[in-house]
Structure 1
Amino acid sequence: MESVIPPDVGRFILERIDSIAQLEAVLLLRSSPDTWWACKQVAERLYITEESCRPVLEGLCAQGLLVKSKQAVYRYRPETGDLREMVDRLAYYYTKHLVPVSNLVHAKARTRIEGFARAFKLSSEE
């Protein structure tokens, strides 16, 4: 883990943030906590497709960072004050140390891909 990122913020990223799109989405919705966002709006702001945005937002809901209404719009509402504080800290470190935070998110994704590749290789050798 990069030394400029405190260990607890690094753990938060590793446990709750699966992609740069998720990171950007939670920070976007955090910037307007009283606004309900449609998936299409978030996708446009993140320059991704609406189809790829939906799992990003659903993942953040599952992590307790967003809520979803019956009308399928999303709002920033961490389940606990501790989560809110951690996202605030993440926002700070992402602003000040963009590359190390991004590298940590990408490293997590690479680890998952490498694990999948190893599992596939093992199963094909049987």
Structure 2
Amino acid sequence: MNDPLPLNVRRFLAHQIESVAQLETLLLLRRDSHRLWNAQELAQGLYLSENMCQAMLDDLERRKFLVRASDSNSVRYECADLKADSMIALLEDLYRERRVAVISEIHSTPISKVQTFADAFRLRKDGKP
């Protein structure tokens, strides 16, 4: 099972998931999609700080994976894009079956972005960028 993750999964992780904690938050909310969550409840469930959970909830809402309840500061999972929802379902399966591969992919993404940015400024031996 050392095969790399499918390209579409790797792209989704690179563009939509910033951390393992964020992925676990998204998967937890998806599993219990009818429940309303606030940052305090999520912090207790995931053993993270309330501030960190609030930032993740705000980001996931901005990405249109969550909707905010009209009468509270709570949110629930409701992905606006069916294709993205299918990808999250696939990610849930992959995370259960190949957790290390998914975590490794998440951790490799920022390094890749930084490396690409750094490479843009690297000079070649002939003096051209």
Q: TM-score range by the shorter chain?
A: 0.7 to 0.9
CA distance in 2, matches of 1:8, 1:43: 30
- Give the CA deviation at 1:117: 9.2
Q: With structure 1 as the length reference, what TM-score do the two structures score?
A: 0.83
Larger Rg, first or second structure (1 or 2): 2
SS of match in other structure, 2:75 = strand
Select the structure with the greater relative contact order (CA < 8 A; seq sep ≥ 6).
1
Aligned Cα root-mean-square deviation (Å): 2.1
Shift in alpha-carbon separation, 1:21–1:116, aligned structure 2, 3 A? farther
**Long gaps (5+) in structure 1:** 119-126
User: Which residue number in structure 2 is paired with residue 122 of structure 1?
Assistant: none
Aligned residues, how many?
A: 117
Aligned to 1:37, what secondary structure does the other structure show?
A: coil
Q: Which residue identity is paired with 2:97?
A: K
Instruction: Please give the per-residue CA displacement for 1:72-126, whole angstroms capped at 9, x wherever unaligned.
Output: 10100000211111100010111110001001111123445678999xxxxxxxx
Query: Runs of 5+ in structure 2 lacking a partner?
Result: 120-129
TM-score under structure 2 normalisation? 0.81
After TM superposition, the runs of 4+ consecutive aligned structure 1 residues lying more than 4 A away are 111-118
Tell whether 2:2 aligns with 1:18: no
